[in-house]
Chain A
Amino acid sequence: MALPLPWRIMVPIVAVAVAIGISSFDAAFPGHYLRQLIIGASHPWPSSPAFHVFSQDPVVVYIENLITPAEAAHLVKQAEGRFATSPMWDNEGKPHVDKAYRRSTTARLGTAAEDDVVRAIEARARALPFYKPVGSFMPMVVQNYEVAGLYRDHYDWFDDRHAVGGNIASTFFVYILANCTGGGTNFARLTPPDSDSRWCEWIDCDRPLDEGVTFKPILGNAVYWENLEADGRTLSDRGHQRTLHAGMTVTSGNKLGLNLWTWKPAHD
């Protein structure tokens, strides 16, 4: 079939856009498509990745296939034997343990220099068109939630960035093991979609409407969000109140989540 000229030009562009998930990518980040294509070539995506922008304010994106099952298995193996009880952090950055509030164990992984998979994932994350590179990644950690494991409502940002020397600007939470029921990632202050929305593939549409949004833990997928309020094209130093989130109780099985945090140093 002979298409008129403009269409013949459009077809390959549309095909590529669909392949990398732009079909469901809101037009809020114009100009990034090309960058995505160029960078994507040097850091190939594992398998048909797609990102779905759930919210613009705060920016919350669900990413399918951010990592491969093989990469996930590698990370699970690396974390083995390194787990210790997860602490909670106060505003001075001091840890304490409260198992009624946070029940999980945490393992710190090797750095990008030490582990090829860590390096590849960091590069891939940095290449995402919506990602704002306001600082460097903190060392990756893995959170292990077994039955009854949970992390109630919390923020990833600190109230006083000066006390801790900076702030956690954005978070990737990647599901590297998801043999579980429950264990979704809940944002209590975001508005859930209807029961028949296409989002129900990634959001648990059986949760009560007044509980906010609960993303499903699916192996290889990730939730990305910006913890700080936007400031034009960059991020401010103000924590975003609607990023309040929780790891819902794991009711059966086991969930392991990889945290990739962007650290924005305090300059003033």
Chain B
Amino acid sequence: MSIYTTNEMMTVAAARRLPDGAVCFVGIGLPSTAANLARLTSAPNVVLIYESGPIGAKPTVLPLSIGDGELAETADTVVSTPEIFRYWLQGGRVDVGFLGAAQIDRFANLNTTVIGPYDAPKTRLPGAGGAPEIAGSAKEVFIIMRQSKRAFDDKLDFVTSVGHMDGGEARQRAGLPGKGPQVVVTDLCVMEPDPVTRELTVVSIHPGISREQITEATGWPIKFAANVVETPMPQVAELETLRALQARTDAAHGKQEGSES
């Protein structure tokens, strides 16, 4: 099968990165889609934690909100929101924090607060939610977001959630417990932080995408690794599972424009 959308490629590529058995703190939208696809394909033993309180959620349809009843009904246990953040995240029990964002910079710092000046914003975004502490305390952070010049920004107006700060060993010096962003998956490619500088570097390009397209969709001169590979195409089973999940979700919630992010 070769007919698939760039969104499907992105979701499949992100899902494949999630190790089976990992404890994953999931953001709503694209991260939740990718994490559940992983659970239904390559990582059946992944433990999904949502900030509203469900631990080990196994939703059959994707949640529209972070506190959908489906998450509670399919979870191993449901705890309070303070407990989620205090015992499970801050307590060091989360392997992977899976996040999206409106904007990201070359060191994978994230903005979900405001574009333009804080007091006179050009665009006001929803704000922090759980992301600042997920970004700080999860052992690793995975990021999934569509790539564009506006989203991949050279200088963020606001850093909501920490990535690798200004690069190098900055995170360690600041005393952050987690290793920070380890992978950024977009609709064009997969990036990883350089082992030394921590600057995001393209390591894998999705089939049919050119380097020029990636450069064009990045707000800084994006670097490519010495050995860039082609991302393996989505397999039939991955696409069928993802489409069935989306179809069940649309049937349950009523199809909505813009519901994907």
Partners in one complex: no
Q: Which residues of A contact B (CB under 8 A)?
A: none
